[in-house]
Amino acid sequence: MFIRFNINKQPQPVSALLLLLSVVILFTACLKEADLYTIKEGVCYMPQAYQDKNKVRPLVKVDSVQETVFGFYYTSYNGAPSDITGNFAVDTSLVKKYNEDNAFTGNVYQVLPKSAYTLSGTTTTVKGGGSSSEPLTLAINPKNLTLGVRYMLPIKLVSVSSGRIDSNLSVTYFRIDEINVRSRDVTKGGTITGNYTNSPGAEQLPNLVDSNFSSKYLAFNYNTDLYVQLAYPSSRKIDAYTITSGNDAPDRDPKEFNLQGSNDGTTWTTIDSRSNETFPGRNLTRTFNLATEANYSYYRLNITSISGASLIQVSEWRLLDYY
């Protein structure tokens, strides 16, 4: 009896797969977690420095403080090897360069005034084993910021106790592009008077504050000493006022004027002045914001120049409070 062996027979596919799997398992078992790394191991940066993350949400011009946070990140698969301290600093000199480098956008930023913000601190830590630092807070009070102005506060990661700083992501340019307001009309309740009341019957002085934008106040024989005045039983806070042009004849529009306040009707303080103003449309309302809030029981609008006519007309004059 003969036993025949086929020495040319190829291994079965299943056997080959098992052999390969054994090698992979053996190799994997030899790898340690510490062997995993990134080419940016130990790099520290500010996540807020990315362009889309440094814009502060639109602020509301009120007394309440509005907050945003910042910090730094330590790059590692395994987390920080120990506690790592990062130090930050405000660098306002960077605003000028930012404006120059981004002039093509047409946006110009001013330095956020020190009186408008506070920082919870300038030092924070990434705990050992972690990646993100404990957050620091930038608190902004927009109460005294000027509407229509863009503000910026550059905050820079200047040093870390371990690792290295990514210079491309070491500065966050906190940008304030928009300041909104909540306003209420506080004109009602005042007594209107003026020194030019030679008006047609349907265009008398009370029309100036009747909340009817289709009516108007018109006076003949305009002169540069014309004023209109609102008197209240007690002081009233305002942050802005509006003037609405008449329904026709743009040469009767106010061109130069100032707003004054008083608490006795005798001693007056100028709180806003305007020159070379125009009203490009009929029954057009324009808002004039005060540099700082005013609080008086008398408000007087002196119209010292108009746009060429011998008579003046205004549809509405309103006082606004921002809250």
Residue 132 Cα distances to 25, 37, 72, 170, angstroms: 34, 17, 6, 15
**C-alpha–C-alpha distance, residues 251 and 228, integer Å:** 19
**C-alpha–C-alpha distance, residues 46 and 124, integer Å:** 12
Residue 284 has pLDDT above 60, yes or no: yes
Could you read off the pLDDT of 56-97 as tens digits, one per residue? 767 777 667 889 999 999 999 899 999 999 999 999 999 999
Give 31's contacts (C-beta < 8 A, 6+ positions apart). none
**C-alpha–C-alpha distance, residues 140 and 127, integer Å:** 28
The pLDDT score that the predictor gives to residue 128 is: 97
Could you read off the pLDDT of 121-167 as tens digits, one per residue? 999 999 999 999 999 999 999 887 888 899 999 999 999 999 999 99
- CB-based burial, 284-303: b 16+ in 10 Å, e otherwise: bebeeebeeebebbbbbbbb
Residue 127 Cα distances to 35, 79, 174, 202, angstroms: 21, 9, 26, 76
Residue 24 has pLDDT above 70, yes or no: no
Residue 15 has pLDDT above 60, yes or no: no
Assign 18 a pLDDT band (cuts: 50, 70, 90): very low
* Domains of the chain (ranges, CATH numbers): 43-180 (2.60.40.1740), 184-322 (2.60.120.260)
pTM: 0.64
37 or 238: which carries more pLDDT confidence? 238
